[in-house]
Amino acid sequence: MSITVRDLSGVGEAAAQLLAKLHIYTPVDLLFHLPRDYEDRSRIIPMSQLFVGKTALLQGTIQSVDFPPGKRTSMAIQINDGMGKITLRFYQVYKGLKEKFRVGSSVRVFGEVRVGARGLELYHPEYQFVSPDEPLPASRLTAIYPTTEGLTQAKLRQFVDQALKHYSQHLPELLPSQCVKHYDMQAALRYIHQPPVDANVFDLAEGRHPAQQRLIFEELVAHQISLLTRRHYIQSIAAPVIQPSQQLIAELLAGLAFKPTGAQQRVSAEILQDLQHSKPMLRLVQGDVGAGKTLVAAMAACHVLESNWQVALMAPTEILAEQHFINFSQWFEPLGIQVAWLSGKQKGKARELSEHLVKTGQAQLVIGTHALFQANVAFKKLGLVIIDEQHRFGVDQRLALREKGNAGTTPHQLVMTATPIPRTLAMSAYGDLDTSIIDELPPGRTPITTVTIPFEKREQVIARVAANCTEGRQAYWVCTLVEQSESLDAQAAEDTFAELSERLPHLKLGLVHGRMKPEEKQAVMRAFKNNELHLLIATTVIEVGVDVPNASLMIIENAERLGLSQLHQLRGRVGRGSTASFCVLLYKSPLSENGTERLATLRASTDGFVIAEKDLELRGPGEILGTRQTGLLGFRLANLQRDEYLLPQAQRIAALILKDHAELAEPLLQRWLPEAPRYAYV
């Protein structure tokens, strides 16, 4: 029988259930339940060097004791160590507590540094009255674990201690020997759980200690193995070999009012290379908003269509899918290609007809939303799947469309994202994809000027909208709310629409939000595109893909509530024509520190990659890729900013393991990604 936590002394049914809440079932799970922080009682921190949110051992002389007025009774004790001061705050003031703290005496305290009404404070610290030169008792760093209610740190520490003593020596080494330099597995875990007296606290607290980095490296290797095996698996099924288009592409380009940029041509060539192989293409095209990804997709489609295979293009929202449908119909119908439309909201006869066209192959090009994934949608001969705005779809969905290929073949996949993904993140989230970057905007674009304006000056902004629209240019007014609620957002947009309609009677206004019927939305979007409306009031539904070159002004209300990448996406709706464009970020003060930094970043840069790097720094990877993908990036230890430098080597070692030490792959996945799907390595 296998060993469980119940085999540790002191673990009964109740403790086992609490541990299960932390996903700890075995002593080995305990070993990998790593501290989230450390308590350092080994040194006294000078009060001039305190960090908010950190626990600290302090010692000082009591300056004053008083009971500040306020809703809750509390006692405040100020102490000073000659370099700084801090306030100790007690909310439960029992009889005699005040008498203990005598002005002029010396006290040693331990607690978490916070910001309170009097500046830096410790709430309910542990305290001990000492003589000023009393020596510190011998002590080392104490691990603090993530835990759950009812399970104390002391108990966890004691369980971990047993696991270290009795089970850590049996842990197998899963990395090739050249990777194990300073710490073997056992030594690394021991160091991390029970750091020695002389350990470097700062490195440990930040996860930069070599013992930690050794585990982090192993986790990154496991992730790369998972990505590589998936890639190999997908590529083990044959894909159609596509011939370069002779006719269609020339006709498409001849019908355009412009020439592809150098970057568009280069990326198209990279795609064509892939398509000519019998292995499925797995390519991610990154290009900032407005870089012209749609044309690159259309050029890729030409090759596949001319080789007599079907192409499916999928977008994350109805509006975006509709816009692609309109574009592609205009481009391809004159060339004799029938384009079909498939969306979730389409019902009855219309839906049946679309499905029929797709199934019989009459429609060679199919455009739609995630409805394309659904089981009852069958293709005659699907050769290429194009997914726009990838960050909104999960990997599972990507795999689902792959399965729509003919028996024995898998379609090529082209993924396009307008959220520039920092290189490190791309390596981890899309390590299974090849990447192309459209790093050049079409000529003639004028840069967007971004300004931030406090809500108090909203009047001036309305006047500016009026002036802009009277001069024949169009504008967007974007409404956002705190809650992620479509109906509240819609309400805000409706209110703003009513207000601005009254204020700007000489302008034609339109309204789009997520709660409108698709036909209604489409009609409004079309009217705006045809310059029949001056001002479009919208929710963030217009975030991706919408393309109206004559719109040169965008107002974003409550801009402080949105993330950087989302603001960048929204702003990308303007600056698509030749007139100078403006983006006004209306915010409510006071701004948080993070909010200030976000708005400043947007003012300073229009480069999507710069913004994405900053977003990664401010909000972490989950936010950038969308929640659906956080599972994929669910690192237990690794932090992509901190550990970026390890990635190239992790990728190399992962490949090496699969090549020369394949027997290590499964145990590594078992250790770090027990729930990830497994793909046989071939």
Of Mg ion, ligand ADP, none, which one sits near residue 304, judging by CB under 5 to 8 A according to partner kind? Answer: none
> Where does this chain touch ligand ADP (CB under 6 A) — which range of 336-344, 470-478, 520-528, 544-552?
544-552
Does 418 help bind ligand ADP (rule: CB under 6 A)?
A: yes
Token pair in block for residue 365: 């090009």
Asked if 316 and 344 count as a contact pair (C-beta separation under 8 A), the reply is no
Specify the length of the chain in residues: 682
Residue from 46, 176, 442, 626 touching ligand ADP (CB under 6 A): that is 442
| Upper half-sphere CA count for residue 433 (Cβ side, 13 Å) | 27
Give the nearer residue to ligand ADP in terms of CB position, either 79 or 291.
291
How far apart are the C-alpha atoms of 414 and 304, rounded to whole Å?
12
Asked if 537 and 477 count as a contact pair (C-beta separation under 8 A), the reply is yes
Token pair in block for residue 571: 């702003």
Give the nearer residue to ligand ADP in terms of CB position, either 327 or 522.
327
Cis upstream peptide for 590 (omega within 30°): yes
232 CB-near residues (< 8 Å, 6+ apart): 658, 679, 681, 682
656 CB-near residues (< 8 Å, 6+ apart): 176
* Least spacing, CB of residue 145 vs ligand ADP, in Å: 46
Give the nearer residue to Mg ion in terms of CB position, either 419 or 474.
419
Tell me which residues in 175-204 interact with ligand ADP (CB under 6 A).
none
Residue by residue, DSSP assigns 343-404 as: -TT--HHHHHHHHHHHHHTS-SEEEESGGGGSTT---SSEEEEEEESGGGS-HHHHHHHHTT
How far apart are the C-alpha atoms of 50 and 190, rounded to whole Å?
28
> Where does this chain touch ligand ADP (CB under 6 A) — which range of 66-74, 104-112, 149-157, 290-298?
290-298
* Least spacing, CB of residue 565 vs ligand ADP, in Å: 14
Residue from 261, 410, 468, 581 touching ligand ADP (CB under 6 A): that is 261
> Where does this chain touch ligand ADP (CB under 6 A) — which range of 8-16, 155-163, 257-265, 478-486?
257-265
> Where does this chain touch Mg ion (CB under 5 A) — which range of 23-31, 223-231, 445-453, 542-550?
542-550
Kindly write out the interface string for residues 570-609 of this chain, putting x where it contacts ligand ADP by CB under 6 A and - elsewhere. Answer: ------x---------------------------------
* Least spacing, CB of residue 560 vs ligand ADP, in Å: 25
Asked if 182 and 214 count as a contact pair (C-beta separation under 8 A), the reply is yes
* Least spacing, CB of residue 311 vs ligand ADP, in Å: 16
Give the nearer residue to Mg ion in terms of CB position, either 223 or 392.
392
Does 291 help bind ligand ADP (rule: CB under 6 A)?
A: yes
Which position has the token pair 């011998």?
A: 138
Q: Which residues of 348-358 are buried (b: 16+ CB within 10 A; e: fewer)?
A: eeebeebbebb
Give the nearer residue to ligand ADP in terms of CB position, either 193 or 529.
529
CA distances to 490, 514, 544 from 522, in Å: 16, 12, 15
Burial class (CB in 10 A: 0-12, 13-18, 19+), 525: buried
The 3-state DSSP composition of the chain as helix, strand, coil percent (nearest 5) reads 45, 20, 40
Give the nearer residue to Mg ion in terms of CB position, either 294 or 601.
294
Give the nearer residue to ligand ADP in terms of CB position, either 260 or 622.
260
Of Mg ion, ligand ADP, none, which one sits near residue 626, judging by CB under 5 to 8 A according to partner kind? Answer: none
- 233 backbone dihedrals φ, ψ, rounded to 5°: -60, -50
* Least spacing, CB of residue 294 vs ligand ADP, in Å: 3
Residue from 52, 258, 460, 470 touching ligand ADP (CB under 6 A): that is 258
How far apart are the C-alpha atoms of 530 and 640, rounded to whole Å?
45
Does 264 help bind ligand ADP (rule: CB under 6 A)?
A: yes
* Least spacing, CB of residue 503 vs Mg ion, in Å: 33
* Least spacing, CB of residue 328 vs ligand ADP, in Å: 11
Q: How many CB atoms lie within 10 A of CB 15?
A: 18
* Least spacing, CB of residue 341 vs Mg ion, in Å: 18
How far apart are the C-alpha atoms of 380 and 648, rounded to whole Å?
41
Long-range contacts of 122-126 (CB under 8 A, 24+ apart): 122/58, 122/86, 122/87, 122/88, 122/89, 123/89, 123/90, 123/91, 124/89, 124/90, 124/91, 124/92, 125/88
Of Mg ion, ligand ADP, none, which one sits near residue 291, judging by CB under 5 to 8 A according to partner kind? Answer: ligand ADP
* Of residues 233, 259, 309, 248, the one with CA closest to residue 676: 233
* Least spacing, CB of residue 472 vs ligand ADP, in Å: 19
How far apart are the C-alpha atoms of 365 and 79, rounded to whole Å?
74
Give the nearer residue to ligand ADP in terms of CB position, either 86 or 416.
416
* Least spacing, CB of residue 301 vs Mg ion, in Å: 14
Of Mg ion, ligand ADP, none, which one sits near residue 608, judging by CB under 5 to 8 A according to partner kind? Answer: none
69 CB-near residues (< 8 Å, 6+ apart): none
Does 289 help bind ligand ADP (rule: CB under 6 A)?
A: yes
> Where does this chain touch ligand ADP (CB under 6 A) — which range of 191-199, 377-385, 495-503, 541-549?
541-549
> Where does this chain touch Mg ion (CB under 5 A) — which range of 43-51, 194-202, 541-549, 606-614?
541-549
Does 317 help bind ligand ADP (rule: CB under 6 A)?
A: no
Give the nearer residue to ligand ADP in terms of CB position, either 214 or 576.
576
Does 287 help bind ligand ADP (rule: CB under 6 A)?
A: yes
Q: Under rule CB under 6 A, how many of the chain's residues touch ligand ADP?
A: 19
311 CB-near residues (< 8 Å, 6+ apart): 301, 304, 305, 364, 365, 366, 382, 383, 384, 385, 386
3-state secondary structure of 46: coil
Residue from 210, 518, 549, 622 touching ligand ADP (CB under 6 A): that is 549
Give the nearer residue to Mg ion in terms of CB position, either 368 or 545.
545
Residue from 494, 547, 597, 623 touching ligand ADP (CB under 6 A): that is 547
Does 545 help bind Mg ion (rule: CB under 5 A)?
A: yes
Of Mg ion, ligand ADP, none, which one sits near residue 536, judging by CB under 5 to 8 A according to partner kind? Answer: none
Token pair in block for residue 559: 């801009």
Chain contacts with Mg ion (rule: CB under 5 A): 545
Chain contacts with ligand ADP (rule: CB under 6 A): 258-261, 264, 287, 289-295, 418, 442, 545, 547, 549, 576
